[in-house]
Amino acid sequence: MLNKFLILIGLKQPEILDVQDDLLQTNTSKVLPSTEKRFIPESDPSEIMVHSTEDEVEIRALRNWSELEALGNAIKENNLVCIDLRDVYDKNERQRIKDFTSGMVHVLNSKFRIIHPDGVYLVRKKDANLTATERNRLESLGLYKV
């Protein structure tokens, strides 16, 4: 489980490394992970998606600890992630999820704040901002109430 966690937060590489060799041999327009600091030659530059700080907030409503891997991937990949823990009824499980998220936030040099007192949190990268339109959208969904 520790290995999965380290891979999830990006501190350890997965055991299977043959995929990179296959990517290098094909002529597709793929971008290797940013830790590699190199690109594969691309035929169509429009296939590479660059996320800006104006992207929408990804909303993750968790019900239990087993859904945590998807949350970790969302935090690593997105600038803004809204975490809804209102359906996690076990107090200890909710605390474990918050502790895990706090650890990821610390490792990824991000911010973690409460946006609803009943258990909704916002994770954002330091350079990402919550726009007024996104805040209004979250309010209309009942997720933002400060």
CATH of the domain at 89: 3.30.110.150
pLDDT for position 16: 56
Return the sign of the alpha-carbon dihedral for residues 42, 45, 47, 50: positive
Q: Both 70 and 107 in a single domain?
A: yes
pTM of the predicted model, to two decimals? Answer: 0.60
Q: Based on the domain organization, do 128 and 64 belong to the same domain?
A: yes
Least confident of 24-33, 51-60, 81-90: 24-33
Helix or strand holding residue 59 (H, E): strand 58-61
* Residues 63 and 124 reside in one and the same domain: yes
Same domain, 80 and 24: no
For 75-111, write each residue's pLDDT tens digit: 888 778 999 999 888 899 999 999 999 999 999 999 9
Strands 80-84 and 110-116, by their bridges, are: unpaired
Residue matched to tokens 């990517």:
23
Domain shared by 24 and 87, yes or no: no
- Looking at the fold, whether 85 and 45 belong to one and the same domain comes out as no
Do 37 and 93 lie in a common domain? no
In-domain check, residue 11: no
Residue 82 structural domain: 58-140
- 27, 65, 71, 132 from 62: Cα distances, Å: 39, 8, 8, 25
